[in-house]
């Protein structure tokens, strides 16, 4: 499994804990985030299952910094808040989370970049899953479809907002 934008490692650590045979590559551009992710992996006894890599999704040759293996699953909770939405965010989000983890100029840049590179990283039949901006399901579905993903599925959170989107590469 590849986790792009791992942050605190909550997805990588949880998946490793739930699947003891799973090998995870957790990538983030923030060295501070990777320190927290590694500490969380140690705390939960899964550090040996996770490879931590510092790399920026928007750097040239990002993919070359990853282990050259095909992945069955690529997950990401990318920054998806646009700059103009930032001021209107709830204080408990805006004042607690690092802006780097939340905002991009338009809000969809990471979805586009990851969807474009995912087909070359995934095994045939591999799955791409994103945490979703609640108002971008149609846009992200179109982005994924444009890059060859099929069976696009959107799941809602407990507030009935679109929150997870996934698709399979053929």
Strands 122-131 and 71-76: parallel
Query: In this structure, are 101 and 163 located in the same domain?
Result: yes
Query: In this structure, are 142 and 109 located in the same domain?
Result: yes
Q: How many domains is the chain built from? A: 2
The boundaries of the domain holding residue 131 are 70-170
DSSP 73: E
Query: In this structure, are 61 and 75 located in the same domain?
Result: no
Distance CA 56, CA 73 (A): 19
Query: In this structure, are 57 and 99 located in the same domain?
Result: no
**What's the pTM?**
0.92
Query: In this structure, are 119 and 76 located in the same domain?
Result: yes
pLDDT in single tens digits along all 170 residues of the chain? 999 999 999 999 999 999 999 999 999 999 999 999 999 999 999 999 999 999 999 998 999 999 999 999 999 999 877 777 777 767 766 666 776 777 677 889 999 999 999 999 999 999 999 999 888 999 999 999 999 999 999 999 999 999 999 999 98
- Indicate the residue among 65, 93, 114 that finishes a domain: 65
Query: In this structure, are 35 and 105 located in the same domain?
Result: no
> Quick one: how far is CA 141 from the chain centroid?
15
Write the CATH number for 113: 3.40.50.150
- Indicate the residue among 33, 65, 97 that finishes a domain: 65
3-state secondary structure of 27: strand
Query: In this structure, are 22 and 82 located in the same domain?
Result: no
Query: In this structure, are 57 and 133 located in the same domain?
Result: no
Query: In this structure, are 43 and 90 located in the same domain?
Result: no
What pLDDT, on a 0 to 100 scale, did the predictor assign at position 105? 74
Residue 7, phi-psi category: left (phi > 0), alpha (psi -120 to 50), beta (remainder): left
What pLDDT, on a 0 to 100 scale, did the predictor assign at position 96? 67
Q: Which two tokens stand for residue 37?
A: 């992710």
What pLDDT, on a 0 to 100 scale, did the predictor assign at position 81? 74
Residue 24, phi-psi category: left (phi > 0), alpha (psi -120 to 50), beta (remainder): beta
List, in order, residues 6 or more apart from 72 with CB less than 8 Å away. 1, 122, 123, 125, 126, 127
Query: In this structure, are 155 and 105 located in the same domain?
Result: yes
């Amino acid at each position: 499994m590849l986790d792009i934008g791992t942050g605190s490692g909550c997805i990588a650590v949880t998946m490793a804990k739930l699947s003891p045979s799973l090998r995870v590559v957790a990538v983030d551009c923030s060295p501070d985030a990777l320190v927290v992710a590694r500490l969380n992996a140690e705390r939960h006894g899964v550090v040996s299952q996770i490879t931590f890599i510092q790399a920026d999704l928007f750097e040239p040759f990002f993919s070359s910094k990853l282990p050259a293996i095909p992945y069955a699953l690529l997950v990401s909770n990318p920054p998806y808040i646009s700059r103009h939405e930032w001021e209107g965010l709830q204080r408990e989000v805006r004042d607690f989370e690092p802006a780097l983890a939340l905002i991009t100029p338009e809000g969809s840049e990471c979805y586009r970049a990851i969807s474009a590179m995912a087909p070359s990283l995934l095994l045939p039949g591999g799955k791409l899953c994103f945490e979703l901006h609640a108002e971008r399901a149609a846009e992200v579905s179109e982005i994924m479809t444009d890059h060859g993903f099929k069976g696009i599925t959107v799941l809602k959170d407990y507030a009935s907002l679109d929150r997870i989107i996934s698709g399979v590469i053929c």
